Amino acid sequence: MNPISESAATDSELIARTLGGDGNAYGILVDRFQRKIYRVAYAIVRDDVEADTITQDTFVQAYTHLARFQGRAELETWLTRIAINRSRDWLRRRKFVSLFSHDDESDERQYVIEPVDERPDAERQIMAHQLRAAITRAERLLSSQQKIIFRLRHYEHHSLEEIAELLGLQSGTVRAHLFRAIHKVRKELAEWVTMREVSPHDETL
């Protein structure tokens, strides 16, 4: 099969060929989704070495269980779920726990983090680096679930509905976790950011 027809093959065709013993077919699938899976893993663990390891583990696990894939979801969605679970395991091993377990849920306002950007270019770059470090510290206050949802939303820009599907949660549950995460992060970054109040239904969250 020539390279053009290889790249045009559907996921289902490549899966069938892999299960039939075609050693090259799965490599095409890996090439097709590797970058996306790495981005998802990195968005959650924020460590390039661990993200690379999680990406490799994701494709090994998917290959091992490929015969169980029944096509009820897209292959990309299935791979993403595996990567999220592997990333969640990594976070659990790091023992990131929430320092606040009883946020006030009566405040229905939600916020978008917007860095203050009124400085000269050189100083702005320094401030941006310091802000990223501050965000990393602030994220340590989040529970594992909150951290995953926050990072999928703000780094990978998944919609609430997409996150709900990936995590097997209701959209309302995702929204609640995201609100709590933003609430904690914004408290830690008060001196760094301006907060734009938005509706709980604003899709920029």
Place of tokens 């583990």: 57
H/E element, 125:
helix 121-139
CATH of domain 3-94: 1.10.1740.10
Compare 198 and 188 and report the one with higher pLDDT: 188
Q: What is the mean pLDDT of residues 122-138?
A: 73
Is 95's pLDDT higher than 80?
Answer: no
169 backbone φψ class: left, alpha, beta (φ>0; ψ -120 to 50)? beta
Q: What is the pTM of this model?
A: 0.64
Confidence band, pLDDT 50/70/90 cuts, at residue 76: very high
Assess contact for 189 and 135: CB atoms under 8 A: yes
Which residues are CB-neighbours of 95 under 8 A, at least 6 positions away? Answer: none
Render the burial of 56-80: b for 16+ CB within 10 Å, e for the rest: bbbbeebeeeeeebeeeeebeebbb
Q: Is the pLDDT of residue 38 over 70?
A: yes
| Mean of the per-residue pLDDT values of the chain | 78
CB neighbourhood size of 27 (10 A): 14
Q: Where in the sequence of the chain do the CATH 1.10.10.10 domains occur? A: 110-198
Domain 110-198 annotated CATH 1.10.1060.10? no
Chain Cα centroid distance, residue 174: 13
Name the segment(s) of the chain with CATH classification 1.10.1740.10. 3-94
pLDDT at site 66: 92
- Which residues 6+ apart lie within 8 Å of 111 measured at CB? 182, 183, 186, 195, 196, 197, 198
Percent of the chain's residues with pLDDT above 90: 41
Distance CA 82, CA 76 (A): 10
Rounded Cα–Cα distance for residues 23 and 6 (Å): 13
